[in-house]
Amino acid sequence: MDIVSHALMGGALGLASESSMKDVLIVTAFSVLPDVTQIPIYFKISHQHKRLFWLPKHIDWMDKNYHDRYPGWAAVWEAPHSIFFLLFVVAPAVLFFHLPKMAIGSYASHIFVDLFTHKSKWGIKPLWPLQFKFNGLTDTWVWQFKRLVLSWLFFGLIILLVRWYS
């Protein structure tokens, strides 16, 4: 799923569970954390294609088959999308630093939603380093902007409902 939808979903979880704005922001941050490792890959791919503002186009990810040509890059993205990473790195860190426990749920929500919104080459490997790949329903990261806006409106509506009932 796209980063804005992830952040809105994390924001909804934060607003539903936390009372201080600082904790809401922490929970929101954990909803986008699994994709943070992609930032250097974005720069690398956009640099190779000479894209404006380092923003690669969808075709840039597909046409050169980056996933298979650079398995190390792919692993940097796949590892934080693993349930094992959640259990053995994220959850202990949240507990050790006394962060809101919903941060674990927020991170888990990212993995869960990505299972269904990534497919084929960029399908999620929820048991990484085991290579079992979950083939999702669609690749939302290649959605047109109009469809992304619908996703943002949907999660924005959920945030309004959460605010209303809390």
| Token pair recorded at residue 149 | 């806006």
Per the CB < 8 A criterion, the answer to whether 84 and 130 are in contact is: no
Nearest-angstrom CA–CA distance, 46 and 163: 38
Nearest-angstrom CA–CA distance, 163 and 37: 31
Closer CB to Zn ion, residue 87 or residue 161? 87
Closer CB to Zn ion, residue 17 or residue 109? 109
Closer CB to Zn ion, residue 127 or residue 161? 127
Q: Shortest approach of Zn ion to residue 12 CB, angstroms? A: 17
Q: Shortest approach of Zn ion to residue 147 CB, angstroms? A: 17
Closer CB to Zn ion, residue 37 or residue 46? 37
Nearest-angstrom CA–CA distance, 142 and 89: 30
Q: Shortest approach of Zn ion to residue 111 CB, angstroms? A: 7
Q: Applying CB under 5 A, which residues contact Zn ion?
A: 34-35, 114
Q: Shortest approach of Zn ion to residue 70 CB, angstroms? A: 17
Please state whether 53 falls in left (phi above 0), alpha (psi between -120 and 50) or beta.
Answer: left
